[in-house]
Amino acid sequence: MSELNLILLGPPGAGKGTQAERLTQDFPLAYIATGDMLRQAVAEGTELGLKAKQFMDAGDLVPDEVIIGVALERVEADDARDGFLLDGFPRTIAQAEALEQEMEQLGRGITAVLLIDVPDEEIVRRVSGRRVSRSGRVYHVDFDPPKHEGRCDIDGSPLTQRDDDRPEVVRARLAKYHDVTAPLVRYYEDRGLLRRFDGTRTPTEVHDHIRATVATLRLEDSL
């Protein structure tokens, strides 16, 4: 059976991380989240982190020349050889072109791009209530609260709010999404790869729909 190489696309707060956690339990996929990679680099004070921090704090995108190399390195890594789930990359046409070229060189291809659609008003509500644990597990104060307030269900660590989840930064991130990332919808539509999902449904409903689609893709691929 051939590999599944998937991309999660959608505005900040659409539920990409939430769905990724579930999908990596359903299918053998290496999870590659550029936002997580960058936050870790910032926390560790690495060269990448130092380059990225000012852009992230402002709700801006990290420049293509900074992110493309690190993202593609992960795609090429051994654990991603049998399939991957990209979350947060590509986010610009230049990033998508670099990925496409890399996949061609490796003799691989993207299986599908999973677009999670959520209107802007809902995004602001979601992102402002988002809380994260040390291990990266995502919660929402109203829509997906932990069992004990302010504590992660899995490791008990205190939940925190991301610096860039403040309302004024969220608006900047949304504007950026519409300007430079949303054109990827057309880009992948033109290549016949786009699959749309209604992200306003519950996490479980969204997951059921995506899982069914991915299972069908895998079946079609193995025929």
49 binds ligand ADP (CB under 6 A): no
- Show the DSSP H helices in the chain as ranges: 16-26, 34-44, 47-57, 64-76, 93-106, 120-128, 167-176, 183-190, 203-222
Residue closer to ligand ADP (CB basis): 114 or 214:
114
Of 49, 53, 103, 129, the one binding ligand ADP (CB under 6 A) is 129
* Binding window for ligand ADP (CB under 6 A); candidates: 41-49, 76-84, 122-130, 183-191: 122-130
Report the site for ligand ADP in 151-190 (rule: CB under 6 A): 164, 173
Tokens (6 digits) for 170: 């969220």
Q: Which of 125, 151, 162, 211 is catalytic?
A: 162
Residue 202 carries which DSSP code?
Answer: -
Of 4, 61, 113, 174, the one binding ligand ADP (CB under 6 A) is 61
Catalytic residue among 16, 126, 137, 195: 16
- For residue 91, state whether it binds ligand ADP (rule: CB under 6 A): yes
Question: Which of 6, 9, 15, 188 forms a contact with ligand ADP (CB under 6 A)?
Answer: 15
173 catalytic per annotation? yes
Which of 4, 23, 30, 89 touches ligand ADP by CB under 6 A?
Answer: 89
Which of 82, 102, 117, 144 touches ligand ADP by CB under 6 A? 144
Tell me how far, at minimum, the Cβ of 95 lies from ligand ADP, in Å. 6
Both structure tokens of 166: 């403040």
163 Cβ contact list (under 8 Å, min separation 6): 56, 57, 169
Looking at beta carbons, which pairs linking 182-187 to residues 24 or more positions away fall under 8 Å? 183/93, 184/9, 184/90, 184/91, 184/92, 184/93, 184/96, 184/113, 185/9, 185/115, 187/93, 187/96
Instruction: Tell me the Cα Rg of the chain.
Output: 17
Contact 185, 7 (CB under 8 A): no
Q: Which of 131, 173, 176, 195 is catalytic?
A: 173
Which amino acid belongs to residue 2?
S
Q: Residue 86: which residues within 8 A CB-CB, separation 6 or more?
A: 6, 7, 8, 32, 34, 71, 75
Catalytic residues: 16, 91, 130, 162, 173
Which residues would be at the binding site for ligand ADP (CB under 6 A)? Answer: 10, 12-18, 34-35, 38, 55-56, 59-62, 67, 88-89, 91, 95, 126, 129-130, 138-140, 143-144, 164, 173, 199, 202-203, 206
